[in-house]
Amino acid sequence: MCRRYALKPQDVLRLKRLYGSDLIIQIPDLIELNAIAPVLIEKDGKLVLRAMIFGRDGYQKSLLYNARIETITEKPSFADSFFHRRVLVPASGFYEEDDRRIEHYFYAKDGPFFLTGIYRDNAFVLLTMASNDQVGFYHRRMPLCVREADGLSYADLHNGIKEIRALPSPEIVTDDTSDQLKLF
């Protein structure tokens, strides 16, 4: 499952220009669990840039970082956040591991996009779905991604799972050159 994602420095600068921000946090290129990361939340019909922690405490002190979109409204630990606290996570790409625990990098052909998530107490988790064909070759699940143009539609609390799943996804690809795929 998605435990790491990338946000290139030029994409961070672009976010600050687009959404205005006084965030003075050091944002790593690679964002891992427990890192402070930039996110967007809806406020008065606009997206606003904030800083939150990736991952939140779960059952018996385990760290939660993913939630399945298919069952999110049925899970007590996630349902309230889905109905009241959605977050968009700017990304340049994300990583998934295959069965051999080799990481593969995926990105959108058209540039930066949003991973979708929910938050509580200044910490967020990412929503996941069944993989598309490109990611499915390596891993059975992937983050639920939306294009930047559809960010407000995801953040709109009037939209349910059906409307969110109908949002167009960016075309996710990989330039994988891992050893397991090389024939010569």
User: Mind listing the pLDDT tens digit for each residue in 107-163?
Assistant: 999 989 999 999 999 999 999 998 877 777 887 799 999 999 999 999 999 999 999
Residue 157 lies inside a defined structural domain of this protein: yes
Question: What pLDDT does 55 receive?
Answer: 93
CATH number of the domain residue 43 falls in = 3.90.1680.10
Number of domains in the chain: 1
25-55: pLDDT as tens digits: 677 789 999 999 999 999 998 999 999 999 9
SS3 at position 85: coil
181 belongs to a structural domain: no
More confident residue, 18 or 90: 90
CB 5 within 8 A of CB 93: yes
Query: Mean of the per-residue pLDDT values for the chain?
Result: 87
Q: CA-CA-CA-CA torsion for 67, 71, 76, 77, nearest 10 degrees?
A: 0
The residue range of the domain holding 117 is 4-176
What per-residue confidence (pLDDT) applies to 14? Answer: 86
Q: Is residue 114 a contact partner of residue 151, using CB atoms and an 8 Å limit? A: yes
In a domain, 126, yes or no: yes
The predicted pLDDT at position 113 comes to: 95
Residue 12, in any domain of the structure: yes
- Residue 3 CA to residue 119 CA, distance in Å, equals 16
Examine residue 184 and state whether it is found in any structural domain, yes or no.
no
Residue 100 domain-assigned (yes or no): yes
